[in-house]
Structures are given as structure tokens and as C-alpha cells.
Copies of this chain bind each other. A is one copy, B any other.
Amino acid sequence: MINQNVLEKNISPFVVCPPPPLTLADPDKVRDAADLLYYAQKPLVIIGKGAAYAQAENSVRELVEGCKLPFLPTPMGKGVLPDDHPLCVAPARSKALQGADVIVLLGARLNWILHFGLPPRFNPKVKIIQIDICAEQMGNNVQSAVSLVGDCNVIVQQINDVYGKMPGKFAFSPKSPWWKTLTSKVQANQQSVQQMIDDKSVPMNYFAAYDEIRSLLPKDCIIVSEGANTMDISRTMILNSLPRHRFDAGSYGTMGVGLGFVVAAAAWCKDHTPNKKVVSIQGDSAFGFSGMELETICRYKLPVVMIIMNNNGIYNGLDGESWESLQDMDLSLSLPPSCLTVDAHYERMIEAFGGKGYFVRTAAELKSSLTTALNSKDQISLINVMISPQAQRKPQDFFWLTKSKM
């Protein structure tokens, strides 16, 4: 069959599938949602990728700013409202989740990324206002107080319409105990992050490196991030200003999809938005899954800047043993099985295909090479950033995948 020909006239014409029809939520339930929000003491809005897909940025901005509600984005909901918005409480994420009495889920789901919505990460009495396009998602893991099925954008507009007609309390007070709690936690966390940023040791830690990157990235670039620490820390350190401008492993936590995201996004950008860059920020392990796609990126001259956060493939930092002592051993025998080649020069790979590679150890080198890479029009660059094998996230209040009983 794959060697046969067919006459063009026998090919059926291409029928364009119309856009999916919008659905609205039940007006009675919308009123229930507005009431619940109106009387909340500790409200929280969680902006998920469903809000981004529904292009709900205007209606969500009206809801959040109109009511002065604290909000958290999920990894792929980042940018629906800018990450540096004054109402964003991402730096106080654990505190916000744990304290909220009413949560508005805007196209976000209570799966493992949101700790299943369960104690100890959530208030066991929290009331959930769930907005999702998929009826089968209603009440998963936690029974919702109000279930609103349909298009996220029009449903938030429905809420705004009802809320706008409610008397008196149009906005949640910045002097309330809830806002004070959140604000003080935000500041405390920002200080602890600043300490890590200020640690200028070589090799760098993640926070110091990301601080440089953040300051140089254009507001409209598309960010693809993949890895373990590399992806996790980038969620807080690399800010998004625009919706649908971040690709992340997402709900299924898949490794190896990063370069597929990069190629797809950059192929679209090359044709549609010639000045927009796609910036890939991957751990070296993550890069290894599909690193050969460098050939594709170079062949099609895609507008990509590759950044590899290279800690020798070590997952979550190297505890206990000193890295220096490891370097003295015969590593082909004794390298821990989850590590990669020590000091791999990934930047040479891109040179095989005509790109430009940088090997970077210090913040100054990172700044210089990234500036050049972002300003280059036709040159595809790969920056191999050496990260300390001991580098980790800041200490967390909860072990990952925490799911305990009350």
C-alpha cells in the first residue's frame, strides 16, 4: 500500500472540523459558587492549564483583580496571569493550599501535582468550587462543593456577572488575617531564596544560575522545562508573563518529551512569530532521552536556545559523599548507577550539526553566553551550564507524594 499511487480526484475533500461548541454552567450553581466565594475567609484561586486552553485570561484577571483574591498557577497554568502579579502567592504555595477555606479550581485538577487535594496538604474542610470542561472530572479525589462543567472562560464570566451584582464586599481586604499570613510567608520564602541566589560558589547552584537566566529572558519567549530539580525549581524561578508560553512534563510527569515540545513550538514560531524564541531548560538526564533532536533543530534552523543544567545526571543532589572523592575513583566501576558521565561536554554535540556551543561554569560566563545566544538571529546555541552535584531545592515542608490520613 505504501508504494501505491492514488488519483487526486479520488481523495475526499478536507473537511475542517468546526471549533468545539461552548457550554455554560447551570446559573443556579454559578450563584452557589459566587455565594461561597463571597463569604470565604481564606479564599484561593488555582489557575490550571484548562484556563490557559480556554483562553480565559481576561475573565480570570477580572475575577482575581476585582476581588483581590490570592492565586496560584499550576505549572502549565503559569502566565494566564503574570507570575510577578502582586496577587500571586506562588512563593507561599504550601501555606496557601493548607490554609484556604474556599478554593476555586480553574481548569486545574486535584491529582498528584496538587497532592490529591487531601490533608495534610489541604484543609480537610476546604470547600472546592470546581470548573472543568470534563464532567467525569467532577469530584475526583475530593467531592466538590460546587461543580461547574463547561468552558472555563464563559463560566468565569458567569461568576463575574453574578458577583458584580452582589452587594457591598467587592474585594477581599489586603489587611485581612489571610492576606497577612500569605504576605509574610511570601517574604520569608523570598529571603531564603535570595540567600541561595547570593551564593556565588562555583560550580553554581540552581538558584544562582536561574537568577541570571531570569534576568535575560525576553518576556515573550516560550519556555520548555524538563528534568527533576531543573524543572521543579524553574517553576518558581523562571517567570512567565504570557499564557500558553510554558511547556512542562505536566500531569503525567513524563520524561523525554521536552525536545518534542521544543521542536513543535519552534516550528510554529518560525512560521508565525519570527522574533519569538523558544528557550529549552533541561537537566542533563532529561536531555539524554531525546538529545539527538539537536540534529532536527539545527537542520531546520529553528529559533531555539538550548540550556542544559548539568549536574552529571544526579537526581535531587548528591548526599553524604563528597563529589571530589568520587572524581578520584575509577568511575567506570564505581559511579552510582543513576549518574551520567562526569563533566560531559554536551556543547560539542551541537557543533556536529553547525550550531554554537558554550561551556559555562560561572554566572558571568552564563550571562555572556546567554546574551549572545538570545541576540543571535540564525545561530542555534547550546549552553552547557555546570551545576554543583550537591545542589538541591530548598528544604520542603512535605515529602513528595505525601498522601496521609488525618
**Chain A contact residues, CB within 8 Å of chain B:** 3, 15, 17-18, 20-27, 29, 135, 138-139, 143, 147-150, 154, 288-292, 295, 298-301, 331-332, 335, 340-341, 344-349, 351-354, 399, 401
Q: Is the pair B340, A345 in contact by a Cβ cutoff of 8 Å?
A: no
Q: Is the pair A340, B295 in contact by a Cβ cutoff of 8 Å?
A: yes
28 example contacts (A-B, Cβ-Cβ < 8 A) are as follows A3-B401, A15-B143, A17-B139, A18-B147, A21-B26, A21-B138, A21-B147, A21-B148, A21-B149, A22-B26, A23-B23, A23-B24, A23-B25, A24-B26, A24-B150, A26-B154, A288-B295, A290-B292, A295-B340, A295-B341, A299-B341, A300-B332, A341-B353, A341-B354, A344-B352, A346-B352, A348-B348, A348-B352
Summarize A's interface: helix, strand, loop or mixed: loop
B15, B27, B143, B344: the one within 8 Å of A295 (CB) = B344
Q: Known contacts A295-B340, A299-B340, A348-B352; decide if A135 and B332 are in contact (CB<8 Å).
A: no
In the complex, the chain B residue whose C-beta lies closest to that of A293 is B288
- How many copies of this chain? 4
Q: Is the pair A292, B295 in contact by a Cβ cutoff of 8 Å?
A: no
Q: Closest approach, in angstroms, between the C-beta of A182 and any C-beta of chain B?
A: 30
Residues of B within 8 A of A23 (CB): 23-26, 135, 149-150
In the complex, the chain B residue whose C-beta lies closest to that of A15 is B143
B3, B21, B26, B351: the one within 8 Å of A348 (CB) = B351
Residues of B within 8 A of A335 (CB): 299
Q: Is the pair A21, B25 in contact by a Cβ cutoff of 8 Å?
A: yes
In the complex, the chain B residue whose C-beta lies closest to that of A134 is B135
- In the complex, besides A344-B353, A348-B348, 6 extra interface pairs with C-beta distance below 8 angstroms are A21-B29, A23-B135, A24-B26, A295-B341, A341-B354, A348-B351
Q: Is the pair B292, A288 in contact by a Cβ cutoff of 8 Å?
A: yes
Q: Known contacts A289-B292, A290-B292, A351-B345; decide if A24 and B25 are in contact (CB<8 Å).
A: yes
Q: Is the pair B135, A20 in contact by a Cβ cutoff of 8 Å?
A: yes
